[in-house]
Structure 1
Amino acid sequence: MTSLASTDAPAATQAETRRWPRVSIGTIIANLALLFLVLLWTFPTAGLLISSVRDKDQLAVSGWWTALTPSVTQNAARLGRGDEQVEENGTFIIRGNILGELGSGRTVEAFGTTNADVAAAEAGETLPMRAGGEVTVASDGSYEWRSATAFTHSAGPRIYFVAGSPPRFTLDNYATVLATSGIAQSFINSIAVAIPATVIPILVAAFAAYALAWMNFPGRGLMVAVVVGLLVVPLQMSLIPLLRMYNGIAGAFGQDSKGYLGVWLAHTAFGLPLAIYLLRNYMAGLPREIMESARIDGASHFQIFTGMILPLSFPALASFAIFQFLWIWNDLLVALVFLGAQDDKVVLTGRLVNLLGTQGDNWELLTAGAFISIVVPLIVFFSLQRYFVRGLLAGSVK
């Protein structure tokens, strides 16, 4: 019996170990840090989306985190004049509704006769008035001001109340900002800038990366070193010389220097070093046996590049496409320099800056415009994100 118990105990311990794998402290910390970063990125985005579909009156008085709870505001209204009274059984009564135009779905929670005590009584209760008589306010805002003597006042006294309203969501903010602020035209302008300025450097860099990775020619190592060196050149230092060069070429051919061609070429020039670096390192890491087999079969460099290298390099291409598209979409400096401030060519970032200056008090329009500006980058990122890490690591580590 003793030997049987001693034999079963280790087996039970091993089964328990297999059932509950040990997790290191480092793994827990890494997962918590990742969760913190996800929440840190998600909360502002969720807040922007919720704010963009909230009613403008509720957005002005409460934060987005209260969007699912009724909003409460303090208000004031005047009771009826003396000439609005009616006499019923010897009692003079003035009736009305203190919500007035605010009555869409709102309810009165409390009221008072002075600003110092707004919630002196709850809805349905009665308070004495300093002008005589007493007033009763119902939750729907209707009131009755009763007095044993006739009312003689020409202007009704103020009554203060706390009104609550249920959460209200609407797409009117988007309709307004698209119809009146020029956001729709700027959205099209940003698309017209971002798509060609993303595709052109990818095409050029793919050919250059293949040549630097698999073709032998004099000066190849020097060209790779130059590409790596160009990665550290700041945009601000080279922007003005590039603009002067482009203006000179455009003027020689009689072309307008403020056009889409200039901004496409500028973004292509600034994006090529990173594109060539990522794609060259990725292509250099592809199996050499595949290329040698293709050459034995008589394939040319162009056939190898289009039929084998490009399909295998899609993760790296997608990784750079995300980088380039997001940078161009969020760019303002290059667009202003090469497109100018013409209203029909302002990109989305420039339009949002204008909205901030002209609609600074209309938060509902600013939030709607800002969320419109991030919809396309979110779609691009989430549609290509499965290739992002693979392409990025392959371009940085061989």
Structure 2
Amino acid sequence: MAQASGNSAGKSFFGRFGVHIAVLILVTIWTIPTLGILVSSLRDKDQIIVSGWWNSFSSSTQTEAGRLPPPSEQVEKDGRFVIEGNVFGDGPVRQVSAFGVRSAAPTQYAVGEVADLGDGVTLQVNEDGGAILSSPIAFEGARGQRVYYASSAPPRFTTENYETVLFSEGIGRSFINSLTVTVPATIIPIMIAAFAAYALAWMRFPGRALIIATIIGLLVVPLQMALIPLLQLYNGVALFFGVPSKTYLGIWLAHTGFGLPFAIYLLRSYMAGLPRELMESARIDGASDFEIFLKIVLPLSFPVLASFAIFQFLWVWNDLLVAMVFLGSGSDQLVLTGKLNALLGSRGGDWEILTTSAFVTIIVPLIVFFSLQRYFVRGLLAGSVKGG
């Protein structure tokens, strides 16, 4: 008996230890990308291009191009024509490790080496970027010699990326637009789904099983496939009543329609697991279905309501497609994701804006998640255990 007890205690100890390790690994996996976005959003734009965020606290090697002074500044020394300058120009001085005169071979020569460029022309570049170009005959042309070089730069962090994003024209308006879209589009589905879930869980009526099967089937319908038919239907209704089609009401209804199947499914699974004795006792006391729903089921269902609110808020806040279709792309209609997408331009090559924009967009969802996270797991898992 003592041995069995010891084994049980040992298994319990290692079981708890294993769970803690697993949770730590999962938290780390989810935290590392967020940390990477935050660090990248504070880095210099030139360093983002040449190295990953994990190298942000060490010097980075960059390959760039500079130009020496034009031939008009050449001087004659000991029978040779010499042009002296610095490959960094007026920029900050860094440490050069190699140089070249062709883009295909930017590090062909070691720093300090006298490179033979042909026809007696030589070029020497020192560690501080100082360069000496020498030729037996006078240089001609209007532009100076282009020099490619590899240099190491110390880590540089800046808030310029956030200043570009947060203080760009229209960003405040787009933030308000996102809140105007997201808050009602989160509340409306919850209100409708809560009533529907109670009816499907505790009320008996013809066609109930068919409705539940239809809702489950709607869960697998891709949003993109239903978007065009829904838009045509909405535009037809708007035209019939003579009202504008690009309104907040339209996008609220669209997000409500796309979110209702999952909301009803999640809430019904939870409500169906509530103790039957509570409902029967309330009915014996003369309570109606509406009173049972309002005074008993709704307060007990707050964890699952909070769980769905997190999901719906994240989906709507990060949405771009539905907002562009149902709300429009005008300067006073763009949501935050649309405005940040416009800042990136058609090529999307501004990496510093991309990382900063990504972190800006997740700030509000993170606040919502951590405010409701204590209900999150409880709401998702409670429906899997039936009441006694």
User: Aligning the two structures, in what range does the TM-score lie when normalised by the shorter sequence?
Assistant: 0.7 to 0.9
CA-CA distance at 1:256 after TM superposition: 0.8
Tell me the amino acid that sits aligned with residue 214 of structure 2: G
State how far apart, in whole Å, the 2-side matches of 1:203 and 1:226 are.
18
When Rg is computed on C-alpha atoms for both structures, the one with the higher figure is 1
Structure 2 partner of 1:6 = none
Give the drift of 1:317. 0.3
Inter-CA distance 134–331: structure 2 relative to 1 (3 Å threshold): closer
Q: For residues 118 and 334 of structure 1, do their structure 2 counterparts lie closer, same or farther at Cα, with a shift above 3 Å needed?
A: closer
Q: Is the 1:82–1:152 contact (alpha carbons within 8 Å) kept by the matching residues of 2?
A: no
Rounded Cα–Cα distance in structure 2 between residues aligned with 1:54 and 1:19:
48
1:260 aligns with 248
Partner of 1:78: 68
TM-score, structure 1 as length reference: 0.73
Does residue 108 (structure 1) correspond to residue 96 (structure 2)? The answer is yes
In the alignment, what sits opposite 2:205? 218
TM-score by length of structure 2 reads 0.75
Q: Which runs of structure 2 are paired with 1:367-378 in the superposition (5 Å)?
A: 367-378=355-366
Could you tell me how far 1:316 is from its partner in structure 2?
A: 0.7
Aligned residues: 377
Matched residue SS, 2:164: helix
Q: Any idea what SS the aligned residue of 2:242 has?
A: coil
AA aligned to 1:387 is Y
Measured on the aligned residues, the alpha-carbon RMSD in Å equals 4.5
Q: Name the structure 2 match of 1:176.
A: 164
Question: Per-residue deviation at 1:264?
Answer: 0.8
SS in 1 for 2:92: coil
Alignment of 1:1-398 (within 5 A): 23=14, 41-74=30-63, 75-78=65-68, 96-101=85-90, 103-104=91-92, 106-109=94-97, 118=107, 120=109, 122=111, 127=114, 139-141=127-129, 161-180=149-168, 182-214=170-202, 216=203, 218-219=205-206, 222-233=207-218, 234=221, 235-236=223-224, 238-294=226-282, 301-351=289-339, 353-355=341-343, 357-395=345-383, 398=386
1:281-335 deviations in Å (ceiling 9; x for gaps): 3223223444455556665554543343322211110121122222223334433
Q: 1:358 is paired with a residue of what secondary structure?
A: coil
Amino acid corresponding to residue 66 of structure 1 in structure 2: N
Structure 1 residue 203, shift from structure 2 partner: 1.2
Which residue identity lines up with residue 264 of structure 1 in the other structure? W
> What amino acid is aligned across from residue 225 of structure 1 in structure 2?
L
Structure 1 position 18, deviation (Å)? 5.4
Identity of aligned residues (%): 54
Is the deviation greater in 312-321 or in 346-355? 346-355
Aligned-residue offset at 1:62? 2.5
Give the distance between the partners of 1:82 and 1:251, measured in 2 at CA. 71
Other structure's SS at 2:192 match: helix
* Unaligned stretches of 5+ residues in structure 1: 1-9
In the TM superposition, residue 226 of structure 1 has moved relative to its aligned partner by 0.4
Checking the alignment, whether the CA contact within 8 Å between 1:210 and 1:283 is kept in structure 2 is yes
